[in-house]
Amino acid sequence: MRYSALSILLNGLRGNAGWRPAWRQPQPRPHYDVVIVGGGGHGLATAYYLAKEFGITNVAVLEKNYIGSGNVGRNTTIIRSNYLLPGNNPFYELSMKLWEGLEQDFNFNAMVSQRGVVNLYHSDAQRDAYVRRGNAMRLHGVDAELLDRDAIRAVLPFLDFDNARFPIQGGLIQRRGGTVRHDAVAWGYARGADSRGVDIVQNCEVTGVRQDGNRVTGVETTQGFIGCDRLALAAAGNSSQVAQMAGLRLPVESHVLQAFVSEALKPFIDCVVTFGAGHFYVSQSDKGGLVFGGDIDGYNSYAQRGNLATVEHVAEAGKALIPALSRVRVLRSWGGVMDMSMDGSPIIDRVHRDNLYLNAGWCYGGFKATPASGYCFAHLIAKGEPHETTRQMRLDRFERGYLIDEKGQGAQPNLH
Amino acid sequence: MASLIPCPHCGRRPKEEFTIRGAALERPGPDAGQAAWMDYVYLRDNPRGAYREYWHHTSGCRRWLVVSRNTATHDVTGAEDAAAGKGGKA
Amino acid sequence: MNRLRLSTGGLIDRSRPLSFTFDGRKMQGFAGDTLASALLANGQRLVGRSFKYHRPRGILTAGAAEPNALVTIGRDGRTEPNTRATVQELYDGLVARSQNRWPSLDFDIGAVNGMLSPFLGAGFYYKTFMWPADFWEKVYEPVIRKAAGLGRATREADPDGYEKCWAHCDLLIIGAGPAGLAAALTAGRAGLRVILADEGALPGGSLLSETATIGDRPAPQLAADIAAELHSLPNVRVLVRTTVFGWYDGNVFGAVERVQKHVAELRAGAPVERLWRIAATQAILATGSEERPIVFGGNDIPGVMTAGAMRTYLNRHAVAPGKSVAVFTTNDSGYRLAADLEAAGVGVAAIIDSRREGSPVGGGSARVIKGGLVRDAKGGKALAGVTIAVDGSNETLDVDALAMSGGFSPVIHLACHRGGRPIWSDAHGAFLAPQDTEGLTLAGSAAGVGSLSACLADGAGHAARLAGLLGRAAQPAVFGPVAGEGTGDAGKPLWSVPGIRGKAFVDFQNDVGLKDLKLAVREGYGHVELAKRYTTNGMATDQGKLSNINAIGLLAEARGVSPAEVGTTTFRPFYTPVSFGALTGASHGKHFQPVRKSPLHDWAAKHGATFVETGLWYRSAWFPRAGEKTWRESVDREVRNVRLNAGLCDVSMLGKIEIHGRDAAEFLNRVYANAFLKLPLGRARYGLMLREDGMIYDDGTTSRLGEGHFFMTTTTAYAAGVMNHLEFCAQALWPDLDVRLASVTDQWAQMAIAGPKARTILQAIVDEDISGEAFPFLAAREVSLFGGALRGRLFRISFSGELAYEIAVPAGFGESVADALMEAGEAHGICAYGIEALGVLRIEKGHVTHNEINGTVVPADLGFGKMVSPTKADFIGKAMVHREGLTAPDRLRLVGVKPLDPAATFRTGAHILAKGTEATLENDQGYVSSSAFSPHVGSTIGLALVRNGPERHGEEIVVWNGLMGETTPAVLCDPVFVDPANEKLHA
């Protein structure tokens, strides 16, 4: 069923009784060409591109809860491709390009809104770092502009320009960055994959990986054994747990990251703004809530909830940046479990076994990567070799010393 | 994590006073070989459940502690001085 | 005053009238009113507009769950959008405005959306607005955003203050209703340290709206009596107007106290709100229960409210809900309202009871329609009547107010904040708290307990039990027999009424109706979380307090399963929304972060320094003199003067660490990559500290002041990090080493004296001989100053490449010593110089800072490869520094860069391209890590990290700054631009 203004009109006139399920609720079959573990954004996108771009449709996506119940449904919805290092930059730009045509591609309005992402700087050193980053972006044809204080003030007059502890000096803006309605991304990919024959199996938790020598033969699940020719893990947040079933240890720790939304307000903040002198970033949803976040809580956790101290730190930074937030009320806080990798960059690689594929280590940057992650992972699974933008995202880079460390913090995940 | 950490020297103190380093692993000997060092520096069990972790009481006694914690429930079951049992003065 | 206000009764003070305005209309209420009760008393039923269809909305509840009656109060920087009129206490001069309507509350253009509702059902926006692609940002989204949102936030700063505090107690009791008060009295009398918190202005909760008597005392009197006794107990703290909003790990609760949200004039010096972090050994959750609306057509028309709310307005605020009232109930509670209405002289048209058997409770003389259902309510901006379905026929009643009671949901939110899932109880027709809430006990109707007498007993009983657990004997408080109470019978849930004609709302604020939930199920979004996300049910400012349970029931019906199988969405903080102000406390504006000032700050200030934020420090950046128009003029002068004469620079903010112990040398040998074991007494050495992964962590000098006594300096930025790291090494890695560490950054004022005249100037205050022979390069010793008046530490080290020293003196003497040096140096042309000049001097000399040591470089990248000891048995970073990728020849390595045309410039952050190549990422050769105008060279110079850099000296390249539209032909060169033979250094 194709979605359009006309379909809404016709269904509306007929009492909306004609809408059909966006995806089926299939019983898993005994064997698939590809089994993907994780029905989040990355897993669903992988299935979608496997089917659409690489013609592999005998695919199952196994989700232990409901689809989109992980980080695709609990992030702060930001997309951007303002990366510094050549190991990351082309990949995230591919993702941005896929975002730009996504809704027409999968016929689902995910509200991709290129409202601009501003990273503020408050010192000469921060400015220099953004000049370096902005130039790396420009070298790859990614849009970037350096705005001075006056230009920032023109766009964001309500920031604290006159009484700040760390005065704003300017900012790096990527105008093509913005926000996307996060749940809709999972739903759009699910619907697109399902319509091409992919089985999306919810409430199906993987409990073991069956192996025969150098090959994986299938997975044990709460709905029985499911065989496969290729097994793809896309369970960020729980990557270590899933990998462990295949006998693999990862350079990953699971950390909790909190996010917040305020009560709905009339339009206030038009773009995404990132504070440079504290951990705070904010945008406003179409519904009117200010969606914001800060830094990870800093300790290993599989609980999707955080602590009050972090809440306070985020609020402090928020009011320091935008004094008018003082009387705005915060409605809800929640937590997501992040795959924090040891260099802050992701892993997309064939690992450990001949037919085992790993998609992990997204830190808190997984949402914006969803389309490219799905596309490149599908490419790797289908063709057996990495997509050109993910060549450096190998698992053995840690051992060999080819790290992709944007922040230069080294092997301490809670600093990335 | 807990909101309060039972520091063996200072009593229960708010987590904001502490700095967290990560898994309390044993540092390999200098000649342990690349595999052992790779394990120590990069690989993590990342368990869902019981976990031992280095915390530093930065705004307190400035001792490094090994905090025993559950990563699924956030319950803290204990904290001991990192030097305890290593021949050092805790 | 309107005739809706009863002449007697209630907890309002008729001797204290208060004036307020609503949408500019002047109105009056009394002390003890909420804004909602005052609006009702003034006959103002229409209070707001809904989110999507802009339906007229009134007042639905009398508490924190209110979804409809949201208004904006206050002015300017005190503007507060989305304030619930039902909890806002009235004060004199309160200014309230309705929201989300245009042009006016009465006539709102947006209401046209209601007519389009067949096309605006759940998730319609996911199916359209996709063509053409760029119309989303340009056309559709701006319209949607403008229509969405509720109130408008101010753009101004808040003029008022906030604060935070910690509190510790044996027992925290959340909710001062019957169960909470009984618990507090029991625990308080037993001597426990008790905190009792309640969101209301008065302790009492439902007692304040109750007409029952307890031991012959009216319920509000009992509440007042208990409160009085609690106030007399020194071990009990009663926090009113305080909402406990979250339950966190370690039994820590977050609470916000609205200290001055109810006053016309703010008390100076007192906060508006106060954030409490309460660490409780045990806690009792006595938060009562929430009455459910019923899903029938037109259930949102102003004049329809929950039965409990109507009872509160009637009994507590003495406001009649209308002239003729109908009561629609699924349980016994509606009957008690009917009886109270009749007693107050308000006409009750009928009690419509969904149960065929009716109720044992007396509802006064009103007609009871057993087995009846309100199918539709009628009216636009005010209720005009209801259609009742009973036994297959319909009856219409002309009423102007309708009370509804769909049963009660225990308020268990906090009990679910730490991951526990609620449990459905068929007996209660409700979700109850999770089983294992260690440290938190539920009591009263929050625990599913029904009647008032049972709640009092339950609260007292739990408190006595917990007191025993905490080692105190306690007797449960008793209050005498209760007369006139309800049965507490839960009734049977009624998820929806059949045959509805009008719009039936589940989530009032977000306009989610019965049809939307059915559509969600039809389209495959039937999981409770997916339904929430697809329809937005439960995502409004009330977070589903009223709507979630009905949505779960309706989803269960549509899916043909039990509510237990549907389950709930996740309860998360905050129970009710909390302001940024409260969460922030005093940490904002200039006080966002603490300020660190050097002991030489005042010295720098009196020499006219311009200060710049560096981390928490304010550092002197340059010292402008009369006639200098730009910062560059000042910096160039300072640089030239240091190279020509001498300069004094404050370097006190460098990290300083005392290291003592028998094994101190061995310790340093392990934490530095280069050798320290044999550092001679009285000598300083440059040290390179790595991380375990082989990357450089920090650098600095360490001096040996005694056999087992060293003094380390670190960079300013990493001072705290290095100290933590050293403590980790000493305590966790090598506790067997005898070493002690102390941070002394704040104890010493330290200044660099650099330049050809440095020795001469310094000798004027140093008693010992500091000639080149007596005090050579890298000498480090304690010295006597001013003829023995003071001891200091002198180090012959140089960041600038000049003959230079650093002298450290106890912080309190810093300014005097700096003054003395400036005086001694005056004849020799000394000047004060700041960190800008310091930066230029070090770039000229090719010295690196954290611009280069950025966490991704290994020693060899910066030309320090030979410093990494090949012979030491062990040091931090030894095992990983030689990995393939860290020794690859094409790594970015340190090199100098200068423009071909001396008049040309480039900037830090610009990238390096080989001459004649295209500007692509593939061709990227590296970047400029530091740059400055060099007075010595006479042009801009830079340090850069470039592929194969050291092998490319002399190569012409292009410095590319496409971001700023600059391209500069330049040449790579040796990074040491000044005195490569180090002659000046050793002078």
User: pLDDT of A330-384, one tens digit each?
Assistant: 999 999 999 999 999 999 999 989 999 999 999 999 999 999 999 999 999 999 9
Given B41, B42, B46, which is nearest A240 (Cβ)?
B46
> Cβ contact (<8 Å) for A254 and B41?
no
> Cβ contact (<8 Å) for B46 and A412?
no
A7 in any annotated domain: no
Residue A266 shares a structural domain with residue A242? no
Tell which residue, C575, C503, C500, C504, has the closest CA to residue C544.
Answer: C575
Distance from CA of C718 to the nearest CA of B (A): 15
Contacts of C101 in chain A (CB under 8 A): none
Residue A224 shares a structural domain with residue A263? no
> Cβ contact (<8 Å) for B30 and C873?
yes
- What's the structural domain count of chain C? 7
Pick the last residue of a domain from A341, A363, A379.
A341
Residue C204 shares a structural domain with residue C269? yes
Residues of chain A numbered 102-161 and touching chain C (CB < 8 Å): 103-104, 107-115, 122-125, 127-140, 144-146, 157-158, 160
Which amino acid is it at C460? A
Residue A309 shares a structural domain with residue A297? yes
Q: What is the CATH number of the domain that holds C902?
A: 2.40.30.110
Contacts of C418 in chain B (CB under 8 A): 74
> Cβ contact (<8 Å) for C118 and A123?
no
Instruction: Note down the domain range covering A246.
Output: 22-81+83-108+182-252+343-415
Residue of C nearest to A307 (CA): C248
Evaluate if residue C963 carries a pLDDT over 90: yes
User: pLDDT of C284-317, one tens digit each?
Assistant: 999 999 999 999 999 999 999 999 999 999 999 9
Rounded to whole angstroms, how far apart are CA atoms C266 and C640?
A: 57
A9 in any annotated domain: no
Given C124, C126, C885, which is nearest A401 (Cβ)?
C885
> Cβ contact (<8 Å) for B56 and C728?
yes
The CA distances from residue C894 to A270, C752, C942, in Å, are 42, 26, 10
Q: What percent of chain C shows pLDDT beyond 70? A: 100
Pick the last residue of a domain from A299, A326, A341.
A341
> Cβ contact (<8 Å) for B12 and C279?
yes
Structure tokens, C613: 């934020």
Residue of C nearest to A158 (CA): C155
A54 in any annotated domain: yes
Contacts of B48 in chain A (CB under 8 A): 238, 241, 254, 302
A259 in any annotated domain: yes
C384, with CB counted inside 10 A (0-12, 13-18, 19+), is middle
Structure tokens, C821: 């040096």
User: pLDDT of A185-224, one tens digit each?
Assistant: 999 999 999 999 999 999 999 999 999 999 999 999 999 9
Instruction: Note down the domain range covering C791.
Output: 596-653+747-842
Evaluate if residue C351 carries a pLDDT over 70: yes
* Contact by Cβ (8 Å): C175, A153: no
Residue A244 shares a structural domain with residue A261? no
User: pLDDT of C420-444, one tens digit each?
Assistant: 999 999 999 999 999 989 999 999 9
Evaluate if residue B2 carries a pLDDT over 70: no
Evaluate if residue B90 carries a pLDDT over 60: no
C339 in any annotated domain: yes
User: pLDDT of A258-279, one tens digit each?
Assistant: 999 999 999 999 999 999 999 9
Given C277, C736, C873, which is nearest B87 (Cβ)?
C736
Evaluate if residue B89 carries a pLDDT over 60: no
Residue A165 shares a structural domain with residue A304? yes
Tell which residue, C662, C703, C693, C831, has the closest CA to residue C758.
Answer: C831
pLDDT attached to residue C492? 87
A258 in any annotated domain: yes
Picking from C165, C249, C658, C878 by the largest number of B CB atoms within 10 A of its own CB, the best residue to mutate is C249
Count other Cβ atoms within 10 Å, centred on residue A64: 21
- What's the structural domain count of chain A? 2
Give the pairing of strands C482-483 and A272-274.
Answer: unpaired
> Cβ contact (<8 Å) for B42 and A301?
no
B-to-C residue pairs, Cβ atoms closer than 8 angstroms: 71
Local structure of C341: helix, strand or coil: helix
Residue A99 shares a structural domain with residue A232? yes
Residue C305 shares a structural domain with residue C438? no
Evaluate if residue A156 carries a pLDDT over 70: yes
Residue A260 shares a structural domain with residue A143? yes
> Cβ contact (<8 Å) for A305 and C909?
no
pLDDT attached to residue C703? 98
Given C248, C693, C728, which is nearest B3 (Cβ)?
C248
Evaluate if residue C528 carries a pLDDT over 70: yes
Tell which residue, A402, A333, A341, A332, has the closest CA to residue A366.
Answer: A341
Question: Per CB distance under 8 Å, which residues of B are interface residues toward A?
Answer: 1, 3, 14-16, 20-23, 34, 38-39, 41-46, 48, 51, 53, 69, 71-74
Evaluate if residue C491 carries a pLDDT over 90: no
Rounded to 5 degrees, φ, ψ at C960 are -110, 120
Contacts of C166 in chain B (CB under 8 A): 14
The DSSP code sequence of C585-630 is TT-SGGGSS--EE-TTHHHHHHTTPEEEEETTEEEEEE---TT--S
Contacts of A164 in chain C (CB under 8 A): 589-590, 592
Q: E strands of C332-483, at which residues?
A: 347-353, 368-370, 372-379, 383-390, 393-397, 401-405, 408-410, 423-425, 430-432, 440-442, 482-483
pLDDT attached to residue C363? 87
Rounded to whole angstroms, how far apart are CA atoms A139 and C853?
A: 24
> Cβ contact (<8 Å) for B64 and C732?
yes
Q: What is the mean pLDDT of residues C155-160?
A: 96
Rounded to 5 degrees, φ, ψ at C603 are -60, -45
- Alpha helix (H) ranges present in C353-430? none
Q: Establish if A416 touches chain C: CB-CB under 8 angstroms.
A: no
Looking at the domain that runs over B4-81, which CATH code has it been given? 3.30.2270.10
Evaluate if residue B87 carries a pLDDT over 80: no
Residue C310 shares a structural domain with residue C284? no
Residue of A nearest to C591 (CA): A165
Evaluate if residue B88 carries a pLDDT over 60: no
> Cβ contact (<8 Å) for B41 and C874?
no
Q: E strands of C286-420, at which residues?
A: 289-291, 304-306, 324-329, 347-353, 368-370, 372-379, 383-390, 393-397, 401-405, 408-410
> Cβ contact (<8 Å) for B28 and C879?
yes
Residue A395 shares a structural domain with residue A271? no
pLDDT attached to residue C360? 86
> Cβ contact (<8 Å) for A301 and B16?
no
Confidence of residue C1 (pLDDT cuts 50, 70, 90): very low
Residue C311 shares a structural domain with residue C227? no
Structure tokens, A97: 């390009």
Residue C278 shares a structural domain with residue C364? no
Contacts of B21 in chain C (CB under 8 A): 728
Pick the last residue of a domain from C406, C422, C445.
C406
> Cβ contact (<8 Å) for B3 and A342?
no
Q: List chains adjacent to chain A, taking adjacency as at least 3 C-beta pairs closer than 8 Å.
A: B, C
The DSSP code sequence of C156-223 is SPP-S-EEEEEEEEEEEEE--SHHHHHHHHHHHHTT--EEEE-SSSSTTGGGGG---EETTEEHHHHH
Distance from CA of C466 to the nearest CA of B (A): 21
Rounded to 5 degrees, φ, ψ at C814 are -55, -50
C882 in any annotated domain: no
> Cβ contact (<8 Å) for A398 and B46?
no
Pick the last residue of a domain from A341, A363, A390.
A341
Q: What is the mean pLDDT of residues C460-475?
A: 97
Given A238, A252, A303, which is nearest B44 (Cβ)?
A252
> Cβ contact (<8 Å) for C534 and A146?
no
Residue C648 shares a structural domain with residue C667? no
Residues of chain C numbered 73-112 and touching chain A (CB < 8 Å): 74, 77-82
Angle, CA C942 vertex, CA C938 and CA C943 arms, to 5°:
145
- The length of chain B in residues reads 90
Cis peptide before C103 (omega within 30 of 0): yes
pLDDT attached to residue A232? 98
Number of helices and strands (H, E) in chain A? 10, 18
The CA distances from residue C829 to A73, C26, C838, in Å, are 66, 74, 17
Residue B36: which residues within 8 A CB-CB, separation 6 or more?
Answer: B28
> Cβ contact (<8 Å) for C731 and B27?
no
Q: What is the CATH number of the domain that holds C442?
A: 3.50.50.60
Q: What is the CATH number of the domain that holds A372?
A: 3.50.50.60
Residue of C nearest to A128 (CA): C909
Q: Establish if C611 touches chain A: CB-CB under 8 angstroms.
A: no
pTM of the full structure? 0.97
Distance from CA of C738 to the nearest CA of B (A): 9
Strand-pairing partners, residue C404, are C306, C328
Q: Establish if B74 touches chain C: CB-CB under 8 angstroms.
A: yes
Q: What is the mean pLDDT of residues A160-187?
A: 97
Picking from C274, C580, C622, C958 by the largest number of A CB atoms within 10 A of its own CB, the best residue to mutate is C580
The CA distances from residue C907 to A381, C243, C929, C968, in Å, are 44, 53, 9, 10
* Contact by Cβ (8 Å): C166, C585: no
User: pLDDT of A226-236, one tens digit each?
Assistant: 999 999 999 99
Which residue has tokens 């060099």?
A: C934
Domain spans of chain B?
Answer: 4-81
Q: What is the CATH number of the domain that holds C557?
A: 1.10.10.1100
Q: What is the CATH number of the domain that holds A329?
A: 3.30.9.10
Rounded to whole angstroms, how far apart are CA atoms A404 and A411?
A: 11
Pick the last residue of a domain from C154, C184, C210.
C154
A-to-C residue pairs, Cβ atoms closer than 8 angstroms: 353
pLDDT attached to residue C896? 98
> Cβ contact (<8 Å) for C879 and B30?
yes
Distance from CA of C543 to the nearest CA of A (A): 8
C851 in any annotated domain: no
* Contact by Cβ (8 Å): C838, C654: no
* Contact by Cβ (8 Å): C312, C62: yes
Q: What is the CATH number of the domain that holds C715?
A: 3.30.70.1400
Residue of A nearest to B2 (CA): A307
User: pLDDT of C647-661, one tens digit each?
Assistant: 999 999 999 999 999
Distance from CA of B68 to the nearest CA of A (A): 12
Evaluate if residue C235 carries a pLDDT over 50: yes
Structure tokens, A40: 């989040």
Residue C18 shares a structural domain with residue C89? yes
